[in-house]
Amino acid sequence: MAIVGFVRKIVLIGIFNAVGVWRYAFEAVWKRVYRRQLPVSLRTPETCFASLPGYAFEPHYIEIEGFRVHYVDEGPRDARETIVCLHGEPTWSYLYRKIISPLASHGHRVIAPDFIGFGKSDKPSDPAFFTHELHLRTVREIFEALDLQNVTLVVQDWGGITGLGALELIEDRIGRLVILNTTIAPFGGRFLTRNQKLNFILWRSLTFCFGQWLPIDYIMKQAIRGLPSSIAAAYSAPFPNKDFKVGPAKWPLMVPLYRGMSPSVVASSKSARGILQQWKKPALVMFSDKDPILAGAAAFFKKIIPGAQNVPSVVIKGAGHFLQEDKGEEIAQQIQDLLTQ
Protein backbone atom coordinates (compact mmCIF):
# COMPACT_ATOMS: atom_id res chain seq x y z
CA MET A 1 0.00 0.00 0.00
CA ALA A 2 2.88 2.37 0.80
CA ILE A 3 4.33 1.85 -2.69
CA VAL A 4 0.92 2.47 -4.28
CA GLY A 5 0.55 5.71 -2.32
CA PHE A 6 4.06 6.80 -3.33
CA VAL A 7 3.41 6.13 -7.02
CA ARG A 8 0.04 7.88 -6.85
CA LYS A 9 1.66 11.01 -5.43
CA ILE A 10 4.36 10.99 -8.11
CA VAL A 11 1.69 10.73 -10.82
CA LEU A 12 -0.34 13.56 -9.30
CA ILE A 13 2.75 15.75 -9.07
CA GLY A 14 3.39 15.18 -12.76
CA ILE A 15 -0.21 15.94 -13.70
CA PHE A 16 -0.41 19.09 -11.54
CA ASN A 17 2.84 20.48 -12.95
CA ALA A 18 1.84 19.71 -16.54
CA VAL A 19 -1.51 21.45 -16.09
CA GLY A 20 0.28 24.34 -14.36
CA VAL A 21 2.59 24.86 -17.33
CA TRP A 22 -0.36 24.98 -19.74
CA ARG A 23 -2.31 27.30 -17.40
CA TYR A 24 0.64 29.65 -17.07
CA ALA A 25 1.16 29.75 -20.85
CA PHE A 26 -2.54 30.34 -21.51
CA GLU A 27 -2.74 33.15 -18.94
CA ALA A 28 0.38 34.79 -20.36
CA VAL A 29 -1.19 34.88 -23.84
CA TRP A 30 -4.56 35.98 -22.43
CA LYS A 31 -2.97 38.91 -20.59
CA ARG A 32 -1.31 40.09 -23.80
CA VAL A 33 -4.58 39.92 -25.71
CA TYR A 34 -6.86 41.19 -22.97
CA ARG A 35 -4.94 44.02 -21.34
CA ARG A 36 -6.90 44.51 -18.15
CA GLN A 37 -5.45 47.11 -15.82
CA LEU A 38 -5.73 46.43 -12.11
CA PRO A 39 -4.66 48.84 -9.35
CA VAL A 40 -1.33 48.02 -7.71
CA SER A 41 -3.14 47.21 -4.47
CA LEU A 42 -6.52 45.54 -3.93
CA ARG A 43 -8.55 45.89 -0.74
CA THR A 44 -11.10 43.27 0.28
CA PRO A 45 -14.50 44.87 1.01
CA GLU A 46 -15.41 44.87 4.70
CA THR A 47 -18.64 43.10 3.84
CA CYS A 48 -16.61 39.96 3.17
CA PHE A 49 -15.66 39.84 6.84
CA ALA A 50 -19.15 40.31 8.27
CA SER A 51 -20.13 37.86 11.02
CA LEU A 52 -17.09 35.57 10.84
CA PRO A 53 -17.46 32.81 13.47
CA GLY A 54 -15.35 33.56 16.55
CA TYR A 55 -13.67 36.63 15.07
CA ALA A 56 -15.12 39.79 16.57
CA PHE A 57 -11.82 41.60 17.10
CA GLU A 58 -11.52 45.33 16.47
CA PRO A 59 -9.34 45.96 13.39
CA HIS A 60 -6.16 48.05 13.55
CA TYR A 61 -4.13 49.29 10.60
CA ILE A 62 -0.75 50.75 9.72
CA GLU A 63 0.66 51.60 6.30
CA ILE A 64 3.79 49.82 5.12
CA GLU A 65 5.34 50.66 1.74
CA GLY A 66 2.01 51.84 0.33
CA PHE A 67 0.00 48.84 1.57
CA ARG A 68 -2.51 49.02 4.41
CA VAL A 69 -1.60 46.28 6.88
CA HIS A 70 -4.15 44.92 9.33
CA TYR A 71 -3.45 43.51 12.76
CA VAL A 72 -5.47 42.28 15.73
CA ASP A 73 -4.42 43.95 19.00
CA GLU A 74 -6.20 42.53 22.05
CA GLY A 75 -5.55 42.93 25.76
CA PRO A 76 -4.07 45.86 27.72
CA ARG A 77 -1.59 48.06 25.82
CA ASP A 78 0.53 48.31 28.97
CA ALA A 79 0.50 44.56 29.66
CA ARG A 80 3.63 43.05 31.11
CA GLU A 81 3.69 40.39 28.40
CA THR A 82 3.19 40.94 24.67
CA ILE A 83 2.61 38.04 22.30
CA VAL A 84 2.90 38.38 18.51
CA CYS A 85 1.45 35.59 16.35
CA LEU A 86 2.50 35.20 12.71
CA HIS A 87 0.37 33.14 10.32
CA GLY A 88 1.34 31.22 7.21
CA GLU A 89 -0.17 29.95 3.96
CA PRO A 90 -3.03 30.26 2.96
CA THR A 91 -4.35 31.47 6.31
CA TRP A 92 -4.54 34.82 8.10
CA SER A 93 -4.99 36.11 11.66
CA TYR A 94 -8.29 34.22 11.81
CA LEU A 95 -6.17 31.11 12.45
CA TYR A 96 -5.17 32.47 15.89
CA ARG A 97 -8.64 33.42 17.15
CA LYS A 98 -8.75 30.47 19.63
CA ILE A 99 -5.39 31.58 21.05
CA ILE A 100 -5.91 35.35 21.12
CA SER A 101 -8.93 35.46 23.42
CA PRO A 102 -7.65 33.12 26.19
CA LEU A 103 -4.26 34.85 26.37
CA ALA A 104 -5.84 38.32 26.36
CA SER A 105 -8.14 37.19 29.17
CA HIS A 106 -5.00 36.44 31.23
CA GLY A 107 -4.04 40.11 30.90
CA HIS A 108 -1.54 39.74 28.06
CA ARG A 109 -1.38 41.90 24.95
CA VAL A 110 -1.83 39.70 21.88
CA ILE A 111 -1.06 40.97 18.37
CA ALA A 112 -1.79 38.99 15.21
CA PRO A 113 -1.01 40.76 11.93
CA ASP A 114 -2.10 39.79 8.45
CA PHE A 115 0.80 39.66 6.02
CA ILE A 116 0.43 41.75 2.88
CA GLY A 117 -1.63 39.67 0.47
CA PHE A 118 -3.68 38.01 3.22
CA GLY A 119 -6.58 38.65 5.58
CA LYS A 120 -7.70 42.24 5.96
CA SER A 121 -4.37 43.59 4.67
CA ASP A 122 -4.10 44.94 1.12
CA LYS A 123 -3.35 42.48 -1.67
CA PRO A 124 -0.81 43.17 -4.45
CA SER A 125 -2.33 42.61 -7.89
CA ASP A 126 1.10 42.00 -9.44
CA PRO A 127 3.08 38.94 -8.24
CA ALA A 128 6.28 40.98 -8.59
CA PHE A 129 5.29 42.97 -5.48
CA PHE A 130 4.98 39.80 -3.40
CA THR A 131 8.52 39.16 -2.15
CA HIS A 132 10.18 37.62 0.88
CA GLU A 133 12.01 40.89 1.55
CA LEU A 134 8.68 42.73 1.73
CA HIS A 135 7.46 40.35 4.44
CA LEU A 136 10.68 40.68 6.43
CA ARG A 137 10.34 44.46 6.34
CA THR A 138 6.69 44.16 7.31
CA VAL A 139 7.63 42.30 10.50
CA ARG A 140 10.25 44.92 11.35
CA GLU A 141 7.89 47.83 10.63
CA ILE A 142 5.15 46.38 12.85
CA PHE A 143 7.56 45.91 15.75
CA GLU A 144 8.98 49.41 15.34
CA ALA A 145 5.66 51.18 14.75
CA LEU A 146 4.12 49.62 17.87
CA ASP A 147 7.42 49.86 19.81
CA LEU A 148 7.15 46.24 20.91
CA GLN A 149 9.64 44.97 23.51
CA ASN A 150 10.28 41.65 25.27
CA VAL A 151 7.89 39.92 22.87
CA THR A 152 6.92 36.27 22.87
CA LEU A 153 7.00 35.50 19.15
CA VAL A 154 4.68 32.71 17.98
CA VAL A 155 5.33 31.41 14.46
CA GLN A 156 3.86 28.72 12.22
CA ASP A 157 4.26 27.65 8.58
CA TRP A 158 5.45 30.66 6.50
CA GLY A 159 5.10 32.71 9.67
CA GLY A 160 8.11 30.71 10.87
CA ILE A 161 10.22 31.10 7.75
CA THR A 162 9.43 34.83 7.79
CA GLY A 163 9.39 35.51 11.53
CA LEU A 164 12.59 33.58 12.25
CA GLY A 165 14.13 35.03 9.10
CA ALA A 166 13.41 38.50 10.49
CA LEU A 167 15.20 37.81 13.80
CA GLU A 168 18.26 39.71 12.61
CA LEU A 169 16.01 42.80 12.37
CA ILE A 170 14.12 42.36 15.66
CA GLU A 171 16.27 40.07 17.84
CA ASP A 172 16.66 42.64 20.62
CA ARG A 173 12.86 42.93 20.87
CA ILE A 174 12.21 39.18 21.37
CA GLY A 175 12.15 37.58 24.81
CA ARG A 176 10.79 34.13 23.95
CA LEU A 177 10.08 31.98 20.91
CA VAL A 178 7.15 29.62 20.38
CA ILE A 179 7.74 27.53 17.26
CA LEU A 180 4.76 25.65 15.78
CA ASN A 181 4.83 23.37 12.70
CA THR A 182 7.35 25.29 10.62
CA THR A 183 10.91 25.13 9.38
CA ILE A 184 13.65 27.32 7.99
CA ALA A 185 14.61 26.55 4.46
CA PRO A 186 16.24 24.39 3.36
CA PHE A 187 17.98 23.33 6.58
CA GLY A 188 15.05 21.88 8.52
CA GLY A 189 14.13 19.83 5.48
CA ARG A 190 16.94 17.43 6.28
CA PHE A 191 14.89 16.19 9.23
CA LEU A 192 11.80 15.45 7.15
CA THR A 193 10.99 11.96 5.94
CA ARG A 194 10.81 11.16 2.25
CA ASN A 195 7.03 10.98 2.49
CA GLN A 196 6.82 14.38 4.21
CA LYS A 197 8.98 15.95 1.49
CA LEU A 198 6.84 14.31 -1.15
CA ASN A 199 3.70 15.70 0.51
CA PHE A 200 5.14 19.20 0.34
CA ILE A 201 6.10 18.83 -3.33
CA LEU A 202 2.55 17.60 -3.99
CA TRP A 203 1.14 20.71 -2.26
CA ARG A 204 3.55 22.94 -4.18
CA SER A 205 2.55 21.28 -7.46
CA LEU A 206 -1.13 21.71 -6.64
CA THR A 207 -0.56 25.42 -6.04
CA PHE A 208 1.34 25.73 -9.33
CA CYS A 209 -1.50 23.93 -11.09
CA PHE A 210 -4.26 26.22 -9.85
CA GLY A 211 -2.35 29.51 -9.46
CA GLN A 212 -4.72 32.28 -8.46
CA TRP A 213 -7.66 29.92 -9.01
CA LEU A 214 -6.64 28.11 -5.81
CA PRO A 215 -9.81 26.93 -3.96
CA ILE A 216 -8.86 27.99 -0.44
CA ASP A 217 -12.00 26.87 1.34
CA TYR A 218 -11.71 23.40 -0.22
CA ILE A 219 -8.01 23.17 0.68
CA MET A 220 -8.67 24.11 4.30
CA LYS A 221 -11.41 21.48 4.55
CA GLN A 222 -9.01 18.86 3.19
CA ALA A 223 -6.25 19.96 5.57
CA ILE A 224 -8.43 20.10 8.70
CA ARG A 225 -10.57 17.06 9.30
CA GLY A 226 -14.19 17.88 10.05
CA LEU A 227 -13.81 21.61 9.45
CA PRO A 228 -17.28 23.20 9.24
CA SER A 229 -18.12 24.92 5.96
CA SER A 230 -18.66 28.22 7.79
CA ILE A 231 -15.07 28.15 9.11
CA ALA A 232 -13.66 27.13 5.72
CA ALA A 233 -15.55 30.07 4.19
CA ALA A 234 -13.99 32.39 6.80
CA TYR A 235 -10.51 31.39 5.66
CA SER A 236 -11.57 32.15 2.09
CA ALA A 237 -13.25 35.46 3.00
CA PRO A 238 -10.26 37.71 2.20
CA PHE A 239 -10.25 36.50 -1.42
CA PRO A 240 -13.54 37.36 -3.15
CA ASN A 241 -12.09 36.44 -6.55
CA LYS A 242 -8.85 35.25 -8.10
CA ASP A 243 -7.42 38.77 -8.49
CA PHE A 244 -6.96 38.85 -4.71
CA LYS A 245 -5.04 35.55 -4.54
CA VAL A 246 -1.53 36.55 -5.58
CA GLY A 247 -0.26 35.82 -2.05
CA PRO A 248 -1.73 32.32 -1.64
CA ALA A 249 -0.67 31.43 -5.20
CA LYS A 250 2.92 32.62 -4.90
CA TRP A 251 3.99 31.87 -1.34
CA PRO A 252 4.32 28.07 -1.69
CA LEU A 253 6.40 28.52 -4.85
CA MET A 254 8.90 30.64 -2.88
CA VAL A 255 9.90 27.74 -0.62
CA PRO A 256 13.34 26.62 -1.82
CA LEU A 257 13.67 22.94 -2.60
CA TYR A 258 17.46 23.32 -2.82
CA ARG A 259 20.08 25.95 -1.91
CA GLY A 260 20.19 27.67 -5.30
CA MET A 261 16.45 28.31 -5.30
CA SER A 262 14.81 31.43 -3.77
CA PRO A 263 18.14 33.04 -2.71
CA SER A 264 16.51 35.63 -0.43
CA VAL A 265 14.63 32.95 1.52
CA VAL A 266 17.78 30.83 1.83
CA ALA A 267 19.83 33.86 2.94
CA SER A 268 17.38 34.88 5.68
CA SER A 269 17.06 31.25 6.80
CA LYS A 270 20.84 31.00 7.02
CA SER A 271 20.86 34.15 9.16
CA ALA A 272 18.06 32.69 11.31
CA ARG A 273 19.99 29.48 11.85
CA GLY A 274 23.04 31.41 13.02
CA ILE A 275 20.93 33.36 15.53
CA LEU A 276 19.03 30.29 16.72
CA GLN A 277 22.27 28.39 17.34
CA GLN A 278 23.19 31.14 19.84
CA TRP A 279 19.66 31.57 21.25
CA LYS A 280 19.72 31.02 25.02
CA LYS A 281 16.41 32.72 25.82
CA PRO A 282 13.38 30.41 26.23
CA ALA A 283 12.19 28.66 23.07
CA LEU A 284 9.16 26.36 23.17
CA VAL A 285 9.05 23.87 20.28
CA MET A 286 5.43 22.76 19.96
CA PHE A 287 4.54 20.60 16.98
CA SER A 288 1.50 18.43 16.29
CA ASP A 289 1.68 14.68 15.85
CA LYS A 290 -0.29 14.56 12.59
CA ASP A 291 1.36 17.20 10.43
CA PRO A 292 1.88 15.37 7.10
CA ILE A 293 4.62 17.77 5.97
CA LEU A 294 6.67 19.34 8.78
CA ALA A 295 6.45 17.00 11.76
CA GLY A 296 10.13 16.03 11.49
CA ALA A 297 11.34 19.63 11.74
CA ALA A 298 10.65 19.68 15.49
CA ALA A 299 13.85 17.68 16.02
CA PHE A 300 15.79 20.23 13.97
CA PHE A 301 14.78 23.15 16.18
CA LYS A 302 15.26 21.17 19.38
CA LYS A 303 18.76 20.24 18.28
CA ILE A 304 20.09 23.65 17.23
CA ILE A 305 18.46 26.03 19.77
CA PRO A 306 20.12 26.04 23.23
CA GLY A 307 17.08 27.80 24.71
CA ALA A 308 14.82 25.01 23.45
CA GLN A 309 16.84 22.42 25.33
CA ASN A 310 15.94 24.14 28.59
CA VAL A 311 12.19 24.14 27.86
CA PRO A 312 10.33 20.83 27.56
CA SER A 313 9.03 20.45 24.02
CA VAL A 314 5.32 19.78 23.54
CA VAL A 315 3.54 17.44 21.14
CA ILE A 316 -0.03 18.50 20.41
CA LYS A 317 -1.84 15.22 19.91
CA GLY A 318 -4.63 14.78 17.40
CA ALA A 319 -3.78 17.95 15.46
CA GLY A 320 -2.74 18.39 11.84
CA HIS A 321 -0.68 21.06 10.12
CA PHE A 322 -2.95 23.91 11.25
CA LEU A 323 -2.75 22.98 14.91
CA GLN A 324 -4.09 26.39 15.98
CA GLU A 325 -7.42 25.45 14.44
CA ASP A 326 -7.43 21.91 15.82
CA LYS A 327 -6.16 22.65 19.34
CA GLY A 328 -6.05 26.40 19.78
CA GLU A 329 -7.15 26.47 23.42
CA GLU A 330 -4.55 23.85 24.37
CA ILE A 331 -1.82 25.84 22.63
CA ALA A 332 -2.92 29.00 24.45
CA GLN A 333 -2.60 27.18 27.77
CA GLN A 334 0.89 25.96 26.88
CA ILE A 335 1.93 29.52 26.05
CA GLN A 336 0.39 30.74 29.31
CA ASP A 337 2.39 28.09 31.19
CA LEU A 338 5.57 29.26 29.44
CA LEU A 339 4.90 32.86 30.45
CA THR A 340 4.35 31.96 34.09
CA GLN A 341 7.41 29.70 34.46
Is position 337 annotated as part of the catalytic site? no
Tell me phi and psi for residue 261, to 5 degrees: -105, 140
Q: Which of 73, 217, 291, 326 is catalytic?
A: 291
Q: How many CB atoms lie within 10 A of CB 255?
A: 21
Q: Which of 70, 87, 321, 326 is catalytic?
A: 321
The residue count of the chain comes to 341
Which DSSP string do the residues of 24-54 spell out, in sequence order?
A: HHHHHHHHHHS-----SEE---GGGGTT-TT
What dihedral angle (degrees, nearest 10) is formed by the CA atoms of 128, 250, 162, 140?
A: 30
The DSSP symbol for 57 reads P
The answer for residues whose C-beta is within 8 angstroms of residue 253's C-beta and 6 or more apart is 204, 207, 208
| Alpha carbon distances (Å) from 235 to 175, 260, 264, 320 | 30, 33, 28, 16
* Distance in angstroms (rounded) separating the CA atoms of residues 241 and 228: 21
What dihedral angle (degrees, nearest 10) is formed by the CA atoms of 96, 97, 103, 108?
A: 80
Q: Which of 73, 114, 122, 157 is catalytic?
A: 157
* Distance in angstroms (rounded) separating the CA atoms of residues 161 and 269: 7
Is position 326 annotated as part of the catalytic site? no
Is position 321 annotated as part of the catalytic site? yes
* Distance in angstroms (rounded) separating the CA atoms of residues 34 and 36: 6
Active-site positions read 157, 291, 321
